[in-house]
């Protein structure tokens, strides 16, 4: 089965042709060829604008799709993930998500052991299905409207959104070098925020930080290991607070982010939690899975084992 059809096949591809500076669109024919060789009966849709992937995925799941395969980067995966839910509930608990990572960072796939490009489809045959945690964020969007979204890899209140946007501007398609340069640029003008951080209902603690990272997976920013011990199936967020340090100290410690040793810095705070609330002075950007979605305060709740995902073997 090939192309778009009126009767939903077991597999549904959602394809973002713009991901990876157009690389996803160029590789889509190779992905289709591999799907044919694997004997997959499938349908597909091409994303046409932001958030259309969420709508297409919901339609496919309602029509009976068993596996949704997101072709693109972390933003595409995030939109596909949100299509599995409506009004706080799973549309169909038996449906599962698969990923063909072709994007600017692909940090979620890196955390899950999923190879890049068409080879990722082989996991549908030779991999395994795992239940992984999902984050649920409530915040105000860029227009100030109350909003809720799900995320699969990490959330950031602070500098992370500027780094993600800068990585795409510096080099179409992103990549480690682009995100490194974007990090250097952002750390030269860190723009710390002040507010409080509340973890699992404890008393709010005052904070002045350049970032609070709420992590499901260990990687962000095309390979930065801000939360190296984070696991995507342990029912807990890893919460890392990066304090407002002098600019030279921030830049000096950037290599430690990639090495996964930043948590040993005496002023970096790390905890694990199920519910995290950041109340800010209003200027901090909110980033979910590499996309800026709003600004100001936010609350994050973990949903243990909320999605079934095709992943690599241990």
DSSP class per residue in 51-120: THHHHHHHHHHHHT-SEEEEEESHHHHHHHHHTTEETTEES-TT-EEEEEE-SS--HHHHHHTPPSGGGG
pLDDT of residue 168: 65
How high is the pLDDT of residue 5? 39
Task: Describe the crossing of helices 160-170 and 176-187 by its angle, rounded to 10 degrees.
Answer: 130
Spell out the residues 6+ positions from residue 193 whose beta carbon is closer than 8 angstroms to its own.
157, 158, 208, 209, 210, 280, 281, 283, 284
pLDDT at 172: 59
Whether 119 shows a pLDDT value over 90: the answer reads: yes
- % of the chain beyond a pLDDT of 90: 72
pLDDT in tens, 267-279: 999 999 999 999 9
Q: What is the pTM of this model?
A: 0.93
Q: Is the pLDDT of residue 1 over 70?
A: no
Residue 3 has pLDDT above 50, yes or no: no
From 283, 288, 309, select the one nearest 300 (Cα to Cα).
Answer: 288
- Report the pLDDT value the prediction gives residue 6, as an integer from 0 to 100: 42
pLDDT, mean of residues 206-230: 93
Q: Domains of the chain (ranges plus CATH)? A: 11-126 (3.40.50.10330), 135-306 (2.60.200.40)
Instruction: Summarize pLDDT for 296-311 with one digit per residue, the tens.
Output: 999 999 999 999 999 8
- What's the whole-number average pLDDT of the chain? 90
Q: What is the C-alpha separation between 10 and 8, in angstroms, rounded?
A: 7
pLDDT score of 155 more than 50: yes
pLDDT at 103: 74
pLDDT (0 to 100) of residue 171: 57
């Amino acid at each position: 089965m090939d192309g778009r059809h009126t009767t939903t096949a077991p597999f549904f591809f959602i394809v973002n042709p713009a991901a990876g500076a157009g690389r996803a669109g160029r590789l889509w024919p190779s992905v289709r060829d591999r799907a044919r060789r694997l004997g997959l009966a499938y349908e597909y849709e091409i994303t046409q604008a932001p958030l259309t992937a969420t709508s297409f995925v919901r339609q496919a799941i309602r029509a009976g799709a068993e596996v949704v395969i997101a072709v693109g980067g972390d933003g595409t995966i995030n939109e596909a993930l949100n299509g599995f839910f409506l009004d706080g509930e799973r549309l169909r608990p038996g449906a599962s998500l698969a990923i063909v990572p072709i994007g600017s960072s692909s940090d979620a796939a890196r955390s899950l052991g999923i190879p890049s490009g068409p080879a990722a489809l082989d996991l549908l045959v030779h991999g395994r299905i795992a239940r992984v945690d999902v984050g649920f964020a409530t915040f105000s969007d860029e227009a100030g409207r109350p909003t809720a979204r799900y995320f699969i890899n990490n959330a950031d209140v602070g500098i992370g959104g500027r780094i993600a946007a800068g990585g795409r501007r510096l080099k179409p398609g992103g990549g480690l070098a682009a995100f490194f340069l974007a990090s250097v640029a952002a750390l030269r003008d860190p723009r710390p925020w002040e507010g409080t951080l509340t973890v699992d209902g404890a008393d709010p603690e005052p904070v002045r930080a350049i970032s609070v990272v709420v992590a499901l997976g260990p990687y962000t920013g095309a390979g930065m290991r801000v939360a190296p011990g984070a696991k995507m199936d342990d029912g807990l967020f890893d919460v890392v607070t990066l304090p407002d340090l002098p600019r030279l100290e921030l830049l000096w410690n950037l290599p430690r982010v990639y090495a996964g040793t930043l948590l040993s810095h005496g002023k970096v705070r790390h905890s694990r939690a199920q519910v995290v609330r950041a109340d800010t002075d209003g200027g901090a950007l909110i980033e979910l899975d590499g996309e800026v979605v709003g600004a100001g305060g936010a609350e994050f709740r973990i949903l243990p084992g909320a999605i079934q995902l095709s992943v690599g073997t241990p």
